[in-house]
Amino acid sequence: MAIKFSPVDTKERTKVFFESGDSIRVWSKILEKGKTRLQAFEGLVLSRKHGQEAGATFTVRRVASGVGVERIFPLYSPNIDKIELVKKSKTRKSKLYYVREKAAKEIRRKMKQTRVVVNKDGVSVVKESVPEPEVAG
């Protein structure tokens, strides 16, 4: 489910398929010692700003070694090689800034998990599952 982007083709980038609440993997080009390599940054999309404009950005957050790390990516950056959708979630808010203060267990409880299943015929079916509320015992 990855769309390969080229720095010139901006029409492909207008067909962005992720929203806030989704888990994505962003492959960005890094220049090290004269060589270009790809580096993946996987995390939760907190927000998307400015729609399809030239200055459109999206914020991705992940927790690495117990420390929250956020990166803001320009949508039309030539340094982005591709974006992969890891997991789709349905949220009620478009900006998930409250996630910064919450624990991971509380966040998972709030989002509806959706799973894309591909049948033998090649037809994709979207299944939604709402996590059951936890009961304090």
Q: Domain coordinates of the chain in residue numbers?
A: 2-129
> How do the pLDDT tens digits run along the chain, 137 residues long?
666 655 557 777 777 788 898 999 999 999 988 899 999 999 999 999 988 888 889 999 998 888 889 999 998 888 888 888 888 888 888 898 888 887 666 666 666 666 656 665 655 555 666 555 555 54
The pTM (predicted TM-score) of the whole model is 0.68
Q: Cα 37 to chain center, whole Å?
A: 21
User: Given 3-state DSSP classes, what are the helix, strand and coil percentages for the chain, each rounded to the nearest 5?
Assistant: 10, 50, 40
Tell the CATH topology of 2-129: SH3 type barrels. (2.30.30)
